[in-house]
Amino acid sequence: MRKKRKSERQSELIDMLKEDPFYTDEELSEYFNVSIQTVRLDRLTLGIPEYRERVKKIAESNVEKVTTLIGGEIVGELVNLEIGSIGISILETTDDMIYSKSGIVKGHYIFGQAESLAMAVIDAPAVLLGVANIKTITPIKSGEKLVAKAEVARKRGRKHYVHVKINNQAQEQVFRGKFIFDELADKEA
């Protein structure tokens, strides 16, 4: 593949990041067949913030929409949220999340990401987890980026049914869960 002209590359870079702001500089350098430094220079020239800043900005704007939790209670970065419908969060696993002997990420981090995202998509001031049917499909190691997607399957009365799937950066499903939350009345909360 021939290298694109600078103006073509920068124009396409803008379009790509408008469509999906979660491309890293490394992924962009591979796509455009240029060095990471070239991508960084293009971003600086165009006034596009680095990956972490883009994710942080999106997460901050989405946290304000949540009615069931406070921002710091969500495990991972909330990157997309449509209350009552769907939500997406990203969790980057680290060495302090693993069991020392096996190197596998502790399950409560994965469950925490799934449960807190499921709660975030519900349009209610307070909910209580009633039922969780979960399955961890494959071991998760430190350094993996986990993308969770929650979808409200249905609402019956005061019960909210939410399905969550978590994929790794290779788009392999590593976790799935079905949650039933009970909406609490004002006096119960």
Q: For residue 174, count other CB atoms closer than 10 A to its CB.
A: 21
Order of strands across the sheet that contains 173-183: 77-82, 86-92, 145-156, 159-167, 173-183, 127-136
30-76 confidence digits (pLDDT tens): 999 999 999 999 998 888 988 878 877 776 666 666 666 766 788 99
Which bin fits 171, alpha (ψ -120 to 50), beta or left (φ > 0)?
left
- Answer yes or no: is pLDDT of 138 > 60: yes
**DSSP annotation string for 101-142:** TT-BBPHHHHHHHHHHHHHHHS-SS-EEEEEEEEEE-S--BT
Eight-state DSSP code of residue 98: B
What confidence score (pLDDT) does residue 12 get? 92
Domain with CATH 3.10.129.10 in the chain: 55-183
Architecture of domain 55-183: Roll (3.10)
- Answer yes or no: is pLDDT of 3 > 70: no
Instruction: Please compute the mean of the pLDDT values over residues 110-130 and round it to a whole number.
Output: 93
Asked if 122 contacts 84 with a C-beta cutoff of 8 angstroms, the reply is yes
Domain with CATH 1.10.10.10 in the chain: 6-48
What confidence score (pLDDT) does residue 52 get? 79
- Mean pLDDT rounded to a whole number for the chain: 88
- CATH class, range 6-48: mainly alpha
Query: Closest by alpha carbon to 162, among 147, 171, 172, 150?
Result: 150
Q: Report d(CA 134, CA 162) in Å as an integer.
A: 12
Q: Which residue has the higher pLDDT, 98 or 18?
A: 98
- The overall pTM is greater than 0.75: no
